[in-house]
Amino acid sequence: MENYEVITSDEQKLGRVVEIKGDNVIVEHGMLHKTRHAVPKVFVKTDGSDEVVRLTVSEDLVESSPKVEDGTVDEKEVARHYGLAAGDPAPETEGYGELRPDDPAVSAEQQELRSGVEPSAQRRARIREGHSEAGPHGRQIIPADPHEGP
């Protein structure tokens, strides 16, 4: 892929691939004052028959990306510039893992306990053990309607 011509998504000739570092392709462009920029491989499509690399990003996005200086690539900064998940560090956690009542991670069982309702898992266990008004096969017995005649 080195020395392949680089064409951006807006069909602009950007420069040439000079090397590959980690998950990035290093592109050199410019006539008199050459600059190098890293482009994540996920935005690179290689056409070996024409010795061309096509990018799925625009020329402006590449030119505004962090420059590669002294051969070092700041991979987090490059990922952040292109909007990749690797550019954002994991958020700091707060507390000791306690859940707030309005937290969407609260389970249905926890909500039942808080509201004073017997959790369905406990209710099913109680029915299986025969500690309820249950008939054969664990089915609840429904008493006859006292308002109906014999």
From first to last of its 150 residues, the chain has per-residue pLDDT tens of 888 999 999 998 999 999 999 889 999 988 888 999 999 999 999 987 888 999 999 999 999 999 998 888 888 899 889 888 776 666 566 666 666 666 766 677 777 777 888 878 888 887 777 655 555 555 566 666 667 765
> What is the edge-to-edge ordering of all strands in the sheet holding 13-21?
35-40, 24-29, 13-21, 5-7, 52-55, 44-47
Q: State pTM to two decimals.
A: 0.57
CA atoms in the 13 A half-sphere facing the CB of 103: 9
Residue (of 51, 16, 48, 53) closest to 31 by Cα position: 16
pLDDT of residue 68: 92
The answer to whether the beta carbons of residues 11 and 5 sit under 8 Å apart is no
Number of H helices, E strands in the chain: 4, 6
Per-residue pLDDT at 99: 60
SS3 state at 129: helix
Report pLDDT for 150: 59
Strands 52-55 and 5-7: parallel
Q: Sort residue 143 into left (φ over 0), alpha (ψ -120 to 50) or beta.
A: beta
What pLDDT, on the 0 to 100 scale, is given for residue 142?
66
Q: What are phi and psi of 77, to 5 degrees?
A: -70, -40
Residue 40 pairs in a beta bridge with 24
pLDDT at 93: 60
For residue 137, the model assigns a pLDDT of 57
- Distance (Å, rounded) from C-alpha 66 to C-alpha 71? 12
